[in-house]
Amino acid sequence: MNETGLNIAVLVAPVHDCRNPVLIDPVRKQVDPSSLHWILNPPDTIALEQALRLRDRIPRSGVRVVSVAPPSTERVLRECLAVGADELARLWDERIEEADTHSIAALLAAVIRSGPVDLVLAGWRSADMEHAQTGSIVAELLGFPQITCARSVEPGRDPAHIRVEKRIPGCLLAMSCALPALVTVEKGPPLRYPRYSDRRNAWRTPIRGLDLRAIGLTEAPQSRLRVERMTPPKPRRRSAIGDGANMPVAARLQRIMAGGAQAKKETNVHRCPDRSSTLKVIEHILKERLVVLPEKSGNGR
Amino acid sequence: MREIWTLVEVSGEKILRASQEALCEAVRQGRQLRVRTTALVLGSRIPGQILERLGTFGPDRVLVVDNEAVSSFSPNAYTDALEQLLAAHKPDVLLMGSSVLSREVAPRLACRLGCGLVTEATFLNPQDDGFLVTRSAFRPHASMIVSFQRQGLQIITLAAKVMDVETAGPFSYAIEYVTQPLSFTSDTVRVEDTIKEISAHLDLTDAEVIVAGGRGMQSKDHFDLLDELAEVLGGAVGASRMAVDMKWRPKECMVGMTGKIVSPGLYVACGISGAIQHVMGMQSSETIVAINTDPHAPIFRIATLGIVGDVRDVLPVMIESFRKAGAEAERQEYSA
């Protein structure tokens, strides 16, 4: 902890908004980049909000946003400046196109090291890939203690500590940690909405893109994993357990054709509201293990 | 491949469900590939019956680390202990279930040991020197197949509830205690206080099972049925706008565009017609079971399973059957 307040670095990633579909190139078996709809990673925005709140409470603090992201995502990254981040460091190089989580984390750590830092905040995982690794690896590489999946981050009992709340099954833990440290954030208040004038100013702020040379590397860190191929998911399974479920395919087809699309839609609707139909549904739920019946606590043998 | 390890997490007298799934998958792969499987347990004074129960899953060996440092929730100590064990024993694969602990331990371990890590795996495809791992990406729009680029240890955490748990037996297995001295690095992360026990009242967005009621519930009293079903299934109770407007349920329970947007594994819609505002809030649920008296209700268009009937008739049957099934599962556990 130094006398100039808290230097906070926030790891932010632009991710694909998974409410929109992605296209997968059937030949290359990779995602078609033009189908990606970029947004700020929602858990990262919560981390950014926590950082901004800490800055508001601790005088002379600064928030620096660090991201490894291609130039095409600069538009969404500007949002971080609009809400009040003091600096945005965006690193990209053609050579890191196929980088895995570990190499990205190594690059982030290198960028963070290039400036003073007391606290690193990040979302607990990315909303598109859901690796949930980057934060922990960055902490290891920087040699910082870490707390993952926090619910709130607050100033600690003295300036050299922070106080973090974290939920584990059954209870909420109040934890403390000496600075410098890294905290990944799971939940919290949503990111503030920028004023129009701030947003307009953010548009005019030039962003300096960093490349590998700028952080003193000659080549990208070696990837430990490789994505062999991407595939579209299997279609949503609709299980028919009503009458006609065990019908031969031809007969079922015939019935669907006779009844049109409506009949098809209703194949899995059970029309006899008696005990046996309910039992069938329950049997199906249990068989497909849709529920894990909770174990009764306190019945140790 | 010579050896697959599985990290098993134990809390009190229970084996974490996710760890059971990981161990069973390890045993299945191990049998098929004819490699040795090891269940690794860390803790202090682990009850003997837990070790015996681990044996019923079928690993060749149960390896126990008995150490005060790993007795409570401490990712740092776990990481230190595992780092030293893995470096000394050099297994080819380490499997873990998805849990609060493994989420932090796995990446730290992979970073320290310089090996690859795939999280939330849904399928393991054995190759000559390890696994080709399938996991979801851009959920729910794609899945990806990932290979490891380095020789040596592969760390994989499995997504929850994708692998079957099966116990059979009796199997022969050996229980070994680790005698290797372990050193632990100091850590400034401290648990100052355990703030509150979160009650059975689950947060809607976290719940894996949601039982929701709408106008078809007909009165506030019938929501007791939902409470009961939710309790049996270990889930939370939701409500449609109608039920909230009628003051049958507090506003926090509302599922839909103006309420909470949820995506549980199982969503039971009771007496909910399926207005688009409600559907927006729950359509990404994995399985939707709808109960409604009107066979033309729009909810049946998105339902995976539908029952045309009155919730007051159907729900008691459901509660009773699930209760019975739960008791049975417990009984089997006792005999295992």
CB contact under 8 A, B303 and A294: no
pLDDT at A10: 97
pLDDT at B196: 65
Q: Is A32 helix (H, G, I), strand (E, B) or coil?
A: coil
Distance from the first to the final alpha carbon of chain B: 30
* Alpha carbon distance B328, A43 (integer Å): 40
The residue in chain A having the minimum alpha-carbon distance to the alpha carbon of residue B162 is: A289
Looking at the predicted structure, is the pLDDT value of residue A261 above 60? Answer: no
Looking at the predicted structure, is the pLDDT value of residue A238 above 90? Answer: no
pLDDT at A298: 36
Mean pLDDT for B28-37 is 93
The whole-chain average pLDDT of chain B stands at: 88
Digit-coded pLDDT (tens) for B110-119: 999 999 999 9
Higher per-residue pLDDT: B333 or B94: B94
How would you classify residue A122: left for phi > 0, otherwise alpha for psi between -120 and 50, otherwise beta?
A: beta
Digit-coded pLDDT (tens) for A12-22: 999 999 888 89
CB contact under 8 A, B111 and A239: no
A77 touching chain B per CB within 8 A: no
Digit-coded pLDDT (tens) for B215-238: 999 888 888 999 899 888 888 899
Q: Among A261-265, B10-14, B167-171, B211-215, which range has the highest average pLDDT?
A: B211-215
pLDDT at A299: 35
CB contact under 8 A, A301 and B149: no
pLDDT at B310: 87
pLDDT at A256: 66
| A269 → closest Cβ in B75, B306, B326 | B306
Q: Are strands A225-231 and B142-148 parallel, antiparallel or unpaired?
A: antiparallel
Higher per-residue pLDDT: A54 or B307: A54
Residues 6+ apart with CB under 8 A from B279: B256, B298, B299, B302
CA–CA–CA angle A255, A252, A267 (5° rounding): 80
The residue in chain A having the minimum alpha-carbon distance to the alpha carbon of residue B186 is: A145
Mean pLDDT for B28-52 is 92
Digit-coded pLDDT (tens) for B58-96: 999 999 999 988 888 889 999 999 999 999 999 999 999
Q: Are strands A24-25 and A30-31 parallel, antiparallel or unpaired?
A: antiparallel
pLDDT at A262: 46
Which of B260, B271, B241, B187 lies closest to A182 in space, CA to CA?
B187
Give A 150-169 residues with CB within 8 A of chain B: 163, 165, 167-169
How many Cβ contacts (< 8 angstroms) between chains A and B? 259
Residue entry with tokens 């703030």: B195
CB contact under 8 A, B120 and A270: no
Give contacts of A175 with chain B, Cβ < 8 Å. Answer: 189-192
Looking at the predicted structure, is the pLDDT value of residue A266 above 50? Answer: no
A274 touching chain B per CB within 8 A: yes
Of A30-39, A261-270, B10-19, B46-55, the range with the lowest mean pLDDT is A261-270
Mean pLDDT for B292-320 is 87
The whole-chain average pLDDT of chain A stands at: 85
Select the residue from A292, A296, A299, A301 to test the B interface by mutation, using most B Cβ atoms within 10 A: A292
Digit-coded pLDDT (tens) for A169-184: 767 889 999 999 999 9
CB contact under 8 A, A176 and B307: no
Domains of chain A: 7-215 (3.40.50.620), 234-301 (no CATH)
Residues 6+ apart with CB under 8 A from B154: B92, B93, B94, B115, B116, B118, B130, B131, B148
Looking at the predicted structure, is the pLDDT value of residue B35 above 90? Answer: yes
Give A 175-214 residues with CB within 8 A of chain B: 175-178, 181
pLDDT at B284: 81
Give contacts of A293 with chain B, Cβ < 8 Å. Answer: 232-234, 322, 325-326, 329
Digit-coded pLDDT (tens) for A202-214: 998 888 889 999 9
Looking at the predicted structure, is the pLDDT value of residue B240 above 90? Answer: yes
pLDDT at B302: 86
Using alpha carbons only, how large is chain A's radius of gyration in Å? 25
CB contact under 8 A, B195 and A129: no
Looking at the predicted structure, is the pLDDT value of residue A286 above 50? Answer: yes
Look up residue B254 and give its DSSP letter. Answer: B
**A71: distance to nearest CA of chain B, Å?**
21
Q: Give the confidence band of A290 by pLDDT, cuts at 50, 70, 90.
A: low
* ipTM reported for the complex surpasses 0.90: no
Digit-coded pLDDT (tens) for B119-173: 999 999 999 888 999 999 998 788 999 999 988 899 999 998 788 888 776 788 8
Looking at the predicted structure, is the pLDDT value of residue A119 above 70? Answer: yes
**B184: distance to nearest CA of chain A, Å?**
14
Q: How far is CA B161 from the centre of its chain?
A: 5
Phi, psi angle pair for B117, to nearest 5° = -140, 130
Select the residue from B105, B138, B158, B199 to test the A interface by mutation, using most A Cβ atoms within 10 A: B138
pTM, entire model: 0.79
pLDDT at B200: 46
pLDDT at B158: 94
A262 touching chain B per CB within 8 A: no
pLDDT at B194: 82
**B308: distance to nearest CA of chain A, Å?**
5
pLDDT at A1: 44
Digit-coded pLDDT (tens) for A32-69: 989 999 999 999 999 999 999 999 999 999 999 999 99
Select the residue from B10, B305, B322, B324 to test the A interface by mutation, using most A Cβ atoms within 10 A: B305
Which of B27, A163, B188, B14 lies closest to B41 in space, CA to CA?
B14
Q: Give the confidence band of A263 by pLDDT, cuts at 50, 70, 90.
A: very low
